[in-house]
Chains A and B, each alone.
Chain A
């Protein structure tokens, strides 16, 4: 099968007129002109070079494109960039200034094996932070309910839940624990809700 890269055609100029939008992305104001049909995730990745946010399924199922829009986790593959006009967008790039100073949640994912291939991680982090902003001390069941819209095909979720528990503890001010210490004494054994 031949794959052809097709640039936006000039034949439909009337409907593809660009629209000026203003975003605040990771604290910085950005002015852009976008076609109405362009998705927020594509504008973030292609126009702003913020490729930490991934496109996984592109059908609103996998959640790896999750960013915060005005403080709430959303799937950026299911938001038009024009809908985000005037809004604050936070992406995974905003969590840490560099790899030496990871966000406590990112550090917990590293220590507690919250990733293998890492493709789902940006979305997992952003969804988990949405949860922790409202509930700093969730049960395992609440974490599983919160990441229902984020798919991981490597870990089986157990270590992701553990990573979020450990990250939450550090964000609450508790000292970080190693994987061995955490394994000896899990923080929560509450059962998961049905869905």
Chain B
């Protein structure tokens, strides 16, 4: 299979890339590692008229320390590069998700920024991005730079708040103190590896979960888009035992249904994955 014809430009710098997308043409797509976009183009589910290849922009690669113990991850950093960096183990949910994203070949080429901007409603990374409250730095030539909280970033299936003239530059992880203990657990669809339900839980508070002062939950694969389970979070902080609070994790969502998992099963699995993620996060506290 060959994609439909398109015009191709390669940007050498961020400024060059922003100039190439400055017209805000929705038929122009930014190409990073291509591990999501190219398969869709081959199936002709995506038919961009122009690709702006940012894959060679060195300034978008790599991981640096932020003051306060956080990390800034360049949007073009591959999953493999993240996996090989011992600093990511500060973030339990991130350490959990990296080995189950795609496969070796996909992780060698796929990038964190590309995946987030692609916004597949069943992407594994979405749940840890939400639970760890990642901050996404984006820039456009006309409007400059802005920082978007992960919770505000996703705007539907395969949709984000990024404008067509805007590009993701960096993904920031806050100081580990703010998300002292986190975990991600998913039920993968065995053939594709995509989560039927995937839940990341991040906890702050005293060990054992007895006095949880903060609870952030990201859910992927379950609803029409990836989401924060705000009601469950509030209920847990108010003192409800997690297993009880999590029963409504899929409430109010238009739960996805397909040949692998119908609505009821998927919603039930979301509850199970949430409990497992919570237990794993608690085990990491202290």
Q: Which A residues form the contact surface with B (CB < 8 A)?
A: 12, 14-17, 19, 35-39, 42, 58-61, 63, 66, 69, 72-75, 77-80, 82-83, 85, 127, 130-131, 145-150, 193, 195
Residues of B within 8 A of A14 (CB): 7
Residues of B within 8 A of A83 (CB): 31, 34, 53, 55
Assembled-state Cα–Cα distance A64/B145 (Å): 42
Residues of B within 8 A of A42 (CB): 2
Assembled-state Cα–Cα distance A37/B43 (Å): 13
Query: 1/0 per position for B28-41, CB-CB distance to A under 8 A?
Result: 00010011001101
**In the complex, how many angstroms separate the beta carbon of A170 from the nearest chain B beta carbon?**
22
Which A-chain residue is minimally distant from B43 (CB atoms)?
Answer: A59
**In the complex, how many angstroms separate the beta carbon of B20 from the nearest chain A beta carbon?**
14
Which A-chain residue is minimally distant from B78 (CB atoms)?
Answer: A72
Contact A79 B38 (CB under 8 A): yes
In the complex where A38-B2, A59-B43 touch, is A82 in contact with B105 (Cβ < 8 A)? Answer: no
Contact A78 B8 (CB under 8 A): no
Query: 1/0 per position for B44-66, CB-CB distance to A under 8 A?
Result: 00000101010100000000000
Contact B109 A63 (CB under 8 A): no
Contact B49 A37 (CB under 8 A): no
Q: Does B23 contact A (CB under 8 A)?
A: no
Assembled-state Cα–Cα distance A69/B35 (Å): 14
Residues of A within 8 A of B8 (CB): 19, 36, 80, 82
Residues of B within 8 A of A80 (CB): 8, 31, 34, 38
**In the complex, how many angstroms separate the beta carbon of A104 from the nearest chain B beta carbon?**
21
Residues of B within 8 A of A59 (CB): 1, 39, 42-43
Residues of A within 8 A of B31 (CB): 80, 83
Contact B39 A127 (CB under 8 A): no
In the complex where A72-B80, A78-B39 touch, is A15 in contact with B6 (Cβ < 8 A)? Answer: yes
Q: Does B4 contact A (CB under 8 A)?
A: yes
Which B-chain residue is minimally distant from A38 (CB atoms)?
Answer: B2
Query: 1/0 per position for B1-21, CB-CB distance to A under 8 A?
Result: 111111110100000000000
Q: In chain B, residues 91-118, which have Cβ atoms closer than 8 Å to a Cβ of chain A? A: 99-100, 102-106, 108-109
Assembled-state Cα–Cα distance A44/B77 (Å): 27
Interface size, B (range): 35 or more
Contact A82 B53 (CB under 8 A): yes
In the complex where A35-B5, A36-B51, A195-B188 touch, is A60 in contact with B35 (Cβ < 8 A)? Answer: yes
Q: Does B193 contact A (CB under 8 A)?
A: yes
Contact A60 B5 (CB under 8 A): no
Interface residues of chain B: helix, strand, loop or mixed (majority): mixed
**In the complex, how many angstroms separate the beta carbon of A46 from the nearest chain B beta carbon?**
11
Assembled-state Cα–Cα distance A16/B103 (Å): 32
**In the complex, how many angstroms separate the beta carbon of A41 from the nearest chain B beta carbon?**
11
A sample of 21 inter-chain contacts (CB < 8 A) reads: A12-B5, A19-B8, A37-B4, A37-B6, A59-B39, A59-B43, A60-B35, A60-B39, A72-B109, A73-B104, A77-B42, A78-B34, A78-B38, A78-B39, A78-B106, A79-B109, A80-B34, A82-B8, A149-B102, A149-B105, A150-B103
Residues of A within 8 A of B105 (CB): 63, 66, 73-75, 78, 127, 149
Contact B193 A195 (CB under 8 A): yes
Assembled-state Cα–Cα distance A19/B6 (Å): 12
Contact B104 A78 (CB under 8 A): no
In the complex where A38-B2, A82-B53 touch, is A146 in contact with B42 (Cβ < 8 A)? Answer: no
Assembled-state Cα–Cα distance A151/B106 (Å): 14
Contact A148 B34 (CB under 8 A): no
**In the complex, how many angstroms separate the beta carbon of B96 from the nearest chain A beta carbon?**
11
Residues of B within 8 A of A19 (CB): 8
Other than the given A14-B7, A83-B31, 10 more pairs (CB < 8 A) read A36-B51, A37-B2, A37-B6, A60-B35, A69-B109, A73-B104, A78-B39, A79-B38, A127-B104, A149-B106
